[in-house]
Amino acid sequence: MNIENLRDKTNFDSPLGVGGSLCITITKAMLTSEGTTNLEVCTEINDNELLCLFGHSGAGKTTLLRILAGLTKPDKGLIVFNGMVWFDSEKKINIPPQQRNVGYMFQDYALFPNMTVEHNIRFAQKTKDKNEVDQLIKLFDLEALKNQHPAKLSGGQKQRVALARALAAKPNVLLLDEPLSALDFDMRLALQHEIRKAHELLNTITLMVTHDLQEVFHLATSVVILKNGNVINQGKPVDVFSQDKTPYLYLK
């Protein structure tokens, strides 16, 4: 989809009819270990998709997530979510992260050390609702930990709290930056289930950065493969990886 088509779409009086679709056309210069490369992404993500961003380090996966969250500003381009312009370099529109309502889960989980598990989740709520906090705590099996501070939690427990907190804000889009990379193998398997649960609960787009093919096949409804800032392939995991008999080539 080209950028002009996207602009035309946003001029409609009613919002885009396709629910919570996310249209991205951006360029951003990135500094990598091999010098400067341009992150150039042009894609459209449909509602309810659980999309994995796959590629080697420095390919631009995290930068793309940060751009979507409004934490990093692209050099040029257009981002439209559900008919609402989040970023438009030509019209100088850049909606701040506070108003995009995305759930962003950092690699280090970024739980607030000064708050208990329960307070971390409550902090995220737009309108305070004790019942909902209790439900999330139950759902992610955190009842025994709700009065603990993050410093006392294991990696897997932190991940569950971070997911619960992200859901408490009822985000439009869920962005997960390598949510499982810091965990051991058994824990990964267990927590993949939690991620799927979170995605199904939100009923919206989830974008997840990963290095792990097994995660892609287990979770993703579609996958985008990034290499040196460019999308080199995208589609259903089975289709994308069967086109090439040795998918690990993408990593080199």
Nearest-5° Cα angle at 110, 108 to 116: 125
Site string (122-141) toward other proteins, x via CB under 8 A: -xx-x---------------
CB 27 within 8 A of CB 38: yes
Nearer to other proteins, 77 or 103 (CB): 103
Between residue 92 and residue 121, which ones bind other proteins under the rule CB under 8 A?
96-104, 106, 108, 110, 112-114
Residues in region 162-191 near other proteins by CB under 8 A: 165, 169
Cβ proximity to other proteins: between 174 and 223 the closer is 174
CA–CA dist 143, 12 (Å, integer): 47
Query: Mask 56-95, x = binds other proteins (CB under 8 A)?
Result: -------------xxx------------------------
Q: What's the CA gap between 94 and 79, in Å, rounded?
A: 9
Judged by CB under 8 A, the number of residues near other proteins is 23
Evaluate whether 87 touches 177 at the Cβ level (below 8 Å). no
Identify the residue whose tokens are 């950065």: 209
The C-alpha atoms of residue 190 and residue 197 are separated, in whole angstroms, by 11
CB of 66 to other proteins, least distance (A): 8
Of residues 81 and 241, the one with the C-beta less far from other proteins = 81
CA distances from 33 to 29, 30, 61, 191, 244 (A): 13, 10, 15, 32, 27
Q: Which residues bind other proteins (CB under 8 A)?
A: 69-71, 96-104, 106, 108, 110, 112-114, 123-124, 126, 165, 169
